[in-house]
Structure 1
């Protein structure tokens, strides 16, 4: 029986998405569900952040220990000692920037993983972000310069620490110089319950015959929601929904609070719908109600959860030029070959003219774009992706 330790942000009991956990949390839970579905003999302990208090409980056959606090050096060091003192066959770390706190907390966490490795622990990293350059989304260019210097030794250190490092797209492996430890396992598509568009719009009080464009996810500068709002203009019966609230990783930063406030103010001025945080129960409503999902990202540093949800609901998608690295992945290329769409049909520049040109094309070719998303949904199902995790963890 294999004993696995998972160190990750993790959703509250009986939840998948929540306001107090970061994006990696829901994906980690889905990954573990897939793993236990293929391997009944796994003994899994999840070492997660505290939500309201420290606690230990069982869920889905796993032990959940909520013992560390984001941004707390003492609790992180206690986590280090707890895992060091206990035997395990592997330590799996789904890694996302600022998951454990600020930059200094992240560096401490990397040091903890280094010590685990040196003590003989077998560490598997699942990198949810691989940043090529901080300048596109960091306004303070001096800070971006310093972060880029840190990055130059940060990723080599992570690769040294890991037994295997999993990334979600081919482009991210290339950014890690195709290191032999790096394995590409595509970002799986979460299965979610569909609702009829008519019913969803009625519940959300949206226009029955409108065309709704959805930008979904935590508000973050790199996701380009501010750029989307800036280029938006009233167009026939088309409406934009900014579906998401502030990222809990950055709630205590004054500059981030100003960014979110300015974004919401500009959206109101343009008649754009802003929802705030969308609860887990309402996610299917918004994706069922919309006609198109747009990702106006400024940089490609992670495989998008909202894109996977769009595929789950078989929704047409438009991706900013910054995300064209997706199309280097073999499964994206295969879906393009199987369906009557091209990369150029699905990618837009972050300017008004090109976006609305692609929007017009999409509205005229909904069946083609739906077929592409349906193909990606089938290719990236958890049934197929889960098997790949089993193969890697068996090494």
Structure 2
């Protein structure tokens, strides 16, 4: 290890702290979804540097997937030292960071579930404080911006409008304040998430870089994919892709499909739920109850199938076989990875009205205009029949326009295009003074009255 540290501990190296998939894997079931995003981002930065004829070494400190290990993949040094749900593992990160004392540019990817449960995540701001004390040039990518749990009560297992929910809203506001206190630069993935941070941090250090789209996915023909999955040519296939979670509306679409698919007589509609239990919630009692509810809806229903976790090699099968990808989210707390994949495959898609604020991002609204669409063409309300009324009446012309929208967004959000933006931001030196204690106490006083 000492030889590798000496080789990678250079002033122009980049240090990354993030969830990260296993060697040879991009979309993994062993780490949270941020892992694939981080790997794609790092690859895009490396490719950008290669086009410029430059080389900078990259070190990734990440979570274990069974045991601690150190290896080099595609020229990137990967050090797996953090055990999820173990607060003491932060000490391993601190110790390892100090060994790379010459490295200043640091990229940190954060999602609540990246490093473990609520207690473990609660200590993460200390990591950023430690990095700042070591005079690191920190770029923090916030994958979730949800300073209120009011629309997430079902996801976290709280009662709606409860005192417990009110209490945790105060805590999460303070957490975001602490989380954004030390980094000199912050990245969020949609314009709406930047707006949500207003009042919690210095908004001037927040940059919007949209969720990248992987344009190098393997595509196969629709007929071939359907043959392998046993789907008939005359079936109209709706695809829900991702973990079975409350906030993504997995239970909602399954319930509504079981009630409304039999009524869409002109189309032989089939719903495929391409995903399994949540990697981060699977051991929580309220989540186990949700899974029971979901499976009760699908019992003996030939029109709905649940695949379980989809391995990376099979992702192209489901996207290629479907006619329409649907996103029945109750609320949006982060930029959607499955939505990015729908763009990758250029698929027609419909989104719940929870995505309305996505159109604050200029590339999203521009793609709509360029394809002669409006928000109402792509959004549906969470009424009992609204989605399936759209499905019942949708025609080939509308599907073609929706597919064109996806292809258009994919071009604008390609990881290849975004690589330069990430590199420029990571490398930039911005002086950002840490908020004074006086400002902190003033903020806490205001936050306590804002709920």
Structure 1 position 85, deviation (Å)? 4.2
**Rg: which structure is higher?**
2
| Residues 212-291 of structure 1 aligned to structure 2 (within 5 Å) | 212-232=237-257, 233-234=260-261, 235-236=264-265, 237-271=268-302, 272-291=304-323
How far apart in 2 are the matches of 1:316 and 1:133?
Answer: 32
In structure 2, what is the equivalent of residue 205 of structure 1? 230
- After the TM superposition, which residues 252-331 of structure 1 pair with which residues of structure 2 at under 5 Å, given as runs? 252-271=283-302, 272-331=304-363
- The question of 1:115 aligning with 2:130 is answered yes
- Residues 130 and 175 in structure 1, CA contact (< 8 A), matched pair in contact too: yes
Question: 1:361: how far off?
Answer: 4.7
Of 47, 50, 57, 1:43 maps to: 57
SS at match of 2:153: coil
Per-residue CA distance 1:264-323 (angstroms, 9 max, x = gap): 231235431100000000000000000111001111111111111111111111110111
Matched-pair contact (CA < 8 Å) for 1:193–1:284: yes
Q: 1:224 to 1:270 in 2, by over 3 A?
A: same
Count of residues in correspondence between the two structures: 395
Instruction: Give the structure 2 partner of residue 368 of structure 1.
Output: 401
Q: Distance in 2 between matches of 1:84 and 1:103?
A: 26
Is there any run of 5+ residues in structure 1 with no aligned partner, and where? none
- What is the TM-score when the length of structure 1 is the normalising length? 0.96
Give the Å deviation of 1:244: 0.4
Q: TM-score, normalised by structure 2?
A: 0.84
2:138–2:426 contact (8 Å) kept in structure 1: no
Deviation at 1:53, TM superposition (A): 1.2
Instruction: Give the distance between the partners of 1:393 and 1:307, measured in 2 at CA.
Output: 26
User: Any stretches of 5+ residues in structure 2 without a counterpart?
Assistant: 1-10, 429-451
Secondary structure of the corresponding residue to residue 73 of structure 1: coil
Is the CA contact (8 Å cut-off) linking 2:214 and 2:414 kept in structure 1?
yes
Are 1:187 and 2:211 counterparts? Answer: yes
- Indicate conservation of the 8 Å contact 1:216/1:306, yes or no: yes
Task: Call closer, same or farther: CA 1:188–1:354 in 2, change over 3 Å.
Answer: same
Task: Establish whether residue 103 from structure 1 lines up as the match of residue 127 from structure 2.
Answer: no
Q: Indicate conservation of the 8 Å contact 2:298/2:305, yes or no.
A: yes
User: Which of 23, 31, 47 matches 1:21?
Assistant: 31
Give the secondary structure class of the aligned counterpart of 2:402: helix
TM superposition shift of 1:121: 2.0
Aligned residue number for residue 185 of structure 2? 164
User: Hey, what's the Cα distance between the residues in 1 that align with 2:22 and 2:242?
Assistant: 19
More off after superposition, 255-264 vs 65-74: 255-264
CA deviation vs aligned residue, 1:118-152 (integer Å, no higher than 9, x gap): 33222211111111431222231344323211122
* Aligned-partner Cα distance in 2 for 1:362–1:55: 51
CA contact (8 A) 1:231 1:351 kept: no
- Structure 1 residue 91 displacement after superposition: 2.0
Displacement of 1:373 after TM fit? 1.0
Residue range with higher mean Cα deviation, 136-145 or 30-39:
136-145
Mapped to 2, the partners of 1:93 and 1:260 lie a distance apart of 33
Deviations 1:162-202 (A, max 9, x none): 11110111111111117001000011111211100000011
CA-CA distance at 1:225 after TM superposition: 0.9
| CA distance in structure 1 between the aligned counterparts of 2:290 and 2:210, rounded to whole angstroms | 32
Select which of 174, 196, 205 maps to 1:175: 196
Q: Which runs of 4+ in 1 moved over 6 A?
A: none
Q: Pick the aligned partner of 1:130 from 145, 169, 181.
A: 145
Deviations 1:80-118 (A, max 9, x none): 222134312122111101211111111112222222213
